Chains A and B, each alone.
Chain A
């Protein structure tokens, strides 16, 4: 994922309180949203005064009514300042504020992409942490006796965790990587 550490207009003191973190998000949000749209990246993370703000684009497979239109960018932020508890608190506040319908405390929706056969894994070049994956994209193959079996993304999202690498033996149904789709609210 791309990191921007030099956003000059993001001036907050970072004392770690929920209020100041909220202020940090308010300042950063418009900048990050613009940057996200300009770069076409799936996700941008900013560290500022010990706090982290992550903004993620969800321009495909959206199911929530919170946003509309092709250019809409949904945002969520995970902040981390002064300890995990404070971070989690702010994050959940922000989810409520931005998504509008998600229950407090619930994180972004995660989806595993699973192997469709037993054999040896070949990950697509486009699959790395932070990569944006469209629903139905060819994300990997499982070589069954030398013959590739396609693995396609069941939903769109951002790759947040790789659980297997090219060359690894995988079984049917084994999780290959995890996608996070922020805009999709679990219904």
Chain B
């Protein structure tokens, strides 16, 4: 039984976890760095504990500081949120070693799913379609060339320990593969401390879909539908929606059921996400797993009515799955926009500074998960996410229309944000038609998207 949770994260997710704890009747302590002393989660928490200086390595990434803070404040569980230490097996193990519950998959499970190549092989064994690729890691250039000739070009080289779009290179023929192999291995070694690579067939202009799953300690595995995360910029997701516009009902049902079955059989526990690329044949192929609650989880919450963070905490406490697959019936359409402190007109340059004015959108089926308030100082040390606008509609068209109104209602002064970029995006025929692909933003161009932002009445042209 969990009674008191240390929230070892910041920003909007710290607030989101705090709300879930309150709803479950649990006490919560927010752990924060010196730079976040004035953050909203700290201000509204019953108790908060400073764990170190602004530098994340000495605060949010410091396992000793976080565990010590949990013990000093009498907590019996640690919620790592996303990013930082959320998928770190050594951290999860240390948390457990101090008699605390890690809210997420246990250390052995994180270990098992750490390697992308091994995870792909494991889930393929339990019936998930994967993109044709090497059998695990390719040890050297010769092995890579041999595997590539079997798979067929173009191929993409990937770091086994990679993520977030880093450590990847495409090769269209053997010469290019030879040229890229050692460079990619060195990059992977530098970025992740592990130079091992695998390769898979490269699918261009595809859709990126993912399945939200949850598994209890008895192996009961459920899926909560899919999210389409195709709209990306440099492999960073900007907009997520559910359901996906590209899957036929038959394909969707099949891949969701397979995903839940495979992940349960593979021994996973707690909440997680299986990511897939949709091939030219319209079928999803598994690429990787995220062993944490994700930024875009509210999209699924809004269409299914399930509080995934509360479910995550409940499952971590040892409870059995409190629902059946039949009870999860996604309804309507949800879209999430990641509002970040970035200037789209300046190549999405991150911004920091004081929020001089702030007004959040509201109204029916509009949710804005954010830690902002007027007077809040956006610190320069961490990621630039300011909030997530999640809008529901009975249909995709209704969700889009409501999103336009909600984006207009959102007012953030003091730093540049991506709000107008999304208003422009919602004018794009490609987006409105649902033809969202991973390369869509590059194809359209940021300038064209920003130029499409409709003028508001009374606003001078060019604003």
Contact (Cβ within 8 A) B68 A144? yes
Interface size on A, residues (CB 8 A): 14
Contact (Cβ within 8 A) A118 B34? no
Contact (Cβ within 8 A) A145 B64? yes
Q: B453 contacts the other chain (Cβ, under 8 Å)?
A: no
Q: B334 contacts the other chain (Cβ, under 8 Å)?
A: no
Contact (Cβ within 8 A) A172 B51? yes
Report the Cα distance A79→B52, complex, angstroms. 41
Q: Could you say which of B53, B59, B67, B73 contacts A169, with CB atoms under 8 Å apart?
A: B73
Q: B89 contacts the other chain (Cβ, under 8 Å)?
A: no
Interface residues of B in 19-78 (CB under 8 A from A): 34, 49-53, 59, 64-65, 67-69, 71-73
Give the size range of B's interface with the partner: 10 to 19
Contact (Cβ within 8 A) B72 A169? yes
Contact (Cβ within 8 A) A173 B72? no
Q: A174 contacts the other chain (Cβ, under 8 Å)?
A: yes
Assuming A144-B65, A144-B68, A170-B72, is B52 touching A118 (CB within 8 A)? yes
Report the Cα distance A171→B59, complex, angstroms. 12
Please give the distance in Å from B331's CB to the nearest CB on chain A.
44
* Chain A residues in 8 Å Cβ range of B49: 118, 171
Q: Could you say which of B34, B65, B73, B98 contacts A117, with CB atoms under 8 Å apart?
A: B65
Q: A177 contacts the other chain (Cβ, under 8 Å)?
A: no
Q: A70 contacts the other chain (Cβ, under 8 Å)?
A: no
Instruction: Name the residue of chain A whose CB is nearest to the CB of B66.
Output: A118
* Chain B residues in 8 Å Cβ range of A117: 52, 65, 68
Q: A147 contacts the other chain (Cβ, under 8 Å)?
A: yes
Assuming A118-B49, A144-B64, is B34 touching A172 (CB within 8 A)? yes
Please give the distance in Å from B58's CB to the nearest CB on chain A.
9
Most chain B CB inside 10 Å of its own CB: which residue of A119, A145, A169, A172: A172
Report the Cα distance A72→B320, complex, angstroms. 74
Contact (Cβ within 8 A) B72 A118? yes
Report the Cα distance A160→B53, complex, angstroms. 27
- Sample 26 A-B pairs with CB under 8 A, ordered by A number: A117-B52, A117-B68, A118-B50, A118-B51, A118-B52, A118-B65, A118-B69, A119-B68, A119-B72, A120-B72, A143-B68, A144-B64, A145-B64, A145-B68, A145-B71, A169-B72, A169-B73, A171-B51, A171-B69, A171-B72, A172-B34, A172-B50, A172-B53, A172-B65, A173-B34, A174-B50
Residues of A within 8 A of B (CB): 117-120, 143-145, 147, 169-174
